[in-house]
């Protein structure tokens, strides 16, 4: 079975540019999570969706960040405008809804904002 697929794997761009990260969850999973990982802050949950509906976006750092899930097989995380402090590895994870269900992670997008 295909796992969670993220693209691109690496992104290098200049500050002020718009960045779009993409995620395809595992087929049949109905919960989707976006995380950010840095050395300073560790692993942070940014937002999660249940049945394509955003449930909790309290982890989104600023209005520059937005996330969408237009259907069950695709989600995007957008940063506009990007800043150097947004440099991090961004992970997407998916799972079945319900207690005890593990999340399955993608390999992440390593984002560098110059």
By CB under 8 A, residue 12 contacts another protein: no
Distances (CA, A) of 45 to 15, 65, 114: 23, 13, 24
Query: Applying CB under 8 A, does 100 fall inside the site for another protein?
Result: yes
Minimum distance from CB of 8 to another protein (Å)? Answer: 15
**Shortest reach from residue 90's CB to another protein, in Å:** 10
If binding is defined by CB under 8 A, does position 97 make contact with another protein? yes
Taking residues 55 to 84 in sequence order and writing x for each that binds another protein by CB under 8 A, - otherwise, the string is xx----------------------------
Residue 34 sits in the site that holds another protein (CB under 8 A): no
Per CB under 8 A, 105 contacts another protein: yes
Minimum CB separation of residue 98 from another protein in Å reads 6
Strand order in the sheet with 5-7: 5-7, 19-24, 74-79, 65-71
* Separation CA 113–CA 57 (nearest Å): 23
Burial class (CB in 10 A: 0-12, 13-18, 19+), 18: exposed
Q: Note the residues at the interface with another protein (CB under 8 A).
A: 4, 31, 33, 42-43, 45, 48, 50, 55-56, 91, 93, 95-108
């Amino acid at each position: 079975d295909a796992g969670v697929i993220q693209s691109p794997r690496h992104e290098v761009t200049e500050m002020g540019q718009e960045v779009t990260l993409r995620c395809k969850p595992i087929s049949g999973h109905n919960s989707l999570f976006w995380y950010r990982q840095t050395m300073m802050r560790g692993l942070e949950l940014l937002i999660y969706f249940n049945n394509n509906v955003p449930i909790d976006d309290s982890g989104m750092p600023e209005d520059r960040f937005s996330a969408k899930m237009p259907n069950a097989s695709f989600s995007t995380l957008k940063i506009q405008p990007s800043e150097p402090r947004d440099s991090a590895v961004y992970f997407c994870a998916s799972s079945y809804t319900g207690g005890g269900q593990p999340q399955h992670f993608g390999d992440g997008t390593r984002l560098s904002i110059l």
